[in-house]
């Protein structure tokens, strides 16, 4: 009982940190680029090409800093997901292994967001400046971002959000129910080992669909896109399992309606 009094607050603290970081990530990736306005224009730096930008220290310095922050996040997120590190954390932290992974990921992402250096005078890949595009493109991007985030939250709930955050592992441990993953089928475990991020398409939409794609945003979108692509390894067997699970959930959702119709 004494250990439970320590495990539950630790898991809840990790969950609160992750939830707050998620809210901040929505602001960082959606609200800031959609409501933050356009990069500076009019000066010579704003009109220079990419080759000239690569020789400008005022552009290269913040880009190198941002790249370092992203590599720190990617390194932490990948290293702590390896079987060797997970086995080590399970040995010393037990059932809190997942909560610790979630907390460290949230802290790494907080570092990226808090110390991110914008490059307002760097080259711009595209920008909706002229009317009517300056009005309709941001509105379209806003709608797509809202839809993407709603889909992300819905998919996370379907994929057992409590287990992803480490709460379910502690809950099962306190009640003596064992490890939640031990109750899942081999096909589900195989899918989870291949699918690191179940919201890949939606995150890519958030990263790339912006009215203005500046230099630092391009770096963020490009590196996270590469990471998301490399983190996936789905095959036909995984896709068949996903299709079967989707059909089963749709069947369960339709059953109450069938009962009411009778």
In this structure, the number of other CB atoms found within 10 A of the CB of residue 65 comes to 15
What pLDDT score does 179 carry? 66
Look at residue 41 in the predicted model and tell me its pLDDT.
47
What's the CA gap between 232 and 193, in Å, rounded? 9
More confident residue, 32 or 176: 32
Residue 75 CA to residue 68 CA, distance in Å, equals 10
* Separation of alpha carbons 61 and 46, rounded Å: 16
Residues 75, 78, 84, 87: is their CA dihedral positive or negative?
Answer: positive
Q: Which of 18-22, 30-34, 215-219 has the lowest mean pLDDT?
A: 30-34
Query: What are 135-180's pLDDT values in tens digits?
Result: 899 999 999 999 999 988 877 776 677 777 888 888 777 777 666 5
Q: pLDDT band at 89, cuts 50/70/90?
A: very high
**The model's pTM:** 0.79
Give the residue-averaged pLDDT of 103-123: 93
CA distance 106 to 79: 15
Confidence of residue 67 (pLDDT cuts 50, 70, 90): very high
Q: At what angle do helices 186-194 and 236-261 cross, to 10 degrees?
A: 120
- β-pair partners for 236: none
Q: For 215-248, give the DSSP string.
A: HHHHHHHHHHHHHHHHTB---HHHHHHHHHHHHH
Q: How confident is the model at residue 243 (pLDDT cuts 50, 70, 90)?
A: low
Q: Are 43 and 121 in contact (CB under 8 A)?
A: yes
DSSP H helices, 56-96, are: 57-79, 83-93
Domain boundaries along the sequence of the chain: 1-253
Closest CA to 15 of 111, 114, 101, 113: 101
Pick the closest to residue 17 from 98, 106, 77 (CA basis). 106
41-55, 81-95, 121-135, 175-189: which is most confident: 81-95
Question: How far apart are alpha carbons 199 and 217 in whole angstroms?
Answer: 20
Residues 6 or more apart in contact with residue 74 via CB below 8 angstroms: 223, 227
Cβ-contact 1, 153 below 8 angstroms: no
pLDDT band, residue 72 (cuts 50/70/90): very high
| Average pLDDT taken over every residue of the chain | 79
In this structure, the strands spanning 212-213 and 126-127 are antiparallel
Alpha-carbon distance of 81 to 98, in angstroms, equals: 10
Tell me whether residue 256 is exposed, middle or buried, using C-beta atoms within 10 angstroms of its C-beta: 0 to 12, 13 to 18, 19 or more. exposed
| pLDDT for residue 190 is more than 90 | no
């Amino acid at each position: 009982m004494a250990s439970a009094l320590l495990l539950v607050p630790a898991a809840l603290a990790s969950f609160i940190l992750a939830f707050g970081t998620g809210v901040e990530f929505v602001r960082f990736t959606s609200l800031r680029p959609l409501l933050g306005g356009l990069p500076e224009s009019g000066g010579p730096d704003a009109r220079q090409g990419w080759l000239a930008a690569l020789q400008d220290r005022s552009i290269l310095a913040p880009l190198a800093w941002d790249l370092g922050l992203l590599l720190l996040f990617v390194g932490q997120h990948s290293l702590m997901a390896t079987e060797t590190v997970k086995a080590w954390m399970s040995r010393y932290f037990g059932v809190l292994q997942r909560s610790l992974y979630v907390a460290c990921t949230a802290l790494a992402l907080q570092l990226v967001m808090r110390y991110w250096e914008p490059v307002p005078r760097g080259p711009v890949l595209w920008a909706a400046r002229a009317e009517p595009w300056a009005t309709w493109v941001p509105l379209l991007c806003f709608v797509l971002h809202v839809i993407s985030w709603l889909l992300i939250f819905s998919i996370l709930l379907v994929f057992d959000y409590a287990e992803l955050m480490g709460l379910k592992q502690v809950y099962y441990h306190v009640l003596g129910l064992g490890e939640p993953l031990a109750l899942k089928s081999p096909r589900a475990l195989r899918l989870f080992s291949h699918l690191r991020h179940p919201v890949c398409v939606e995150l890519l939409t958030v990263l790339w669909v912006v009215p203005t794609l500046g230099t630092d945003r391009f770096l963020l979108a490009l590196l996270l896109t590469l990471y998301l692509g490399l983190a996936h390894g789905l095959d036909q067997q995984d896709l068949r399992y996903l299709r079967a699970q989707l059909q089963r959930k749709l069947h369960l959702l339709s059953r109450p309606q069938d009962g009411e119709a009778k």
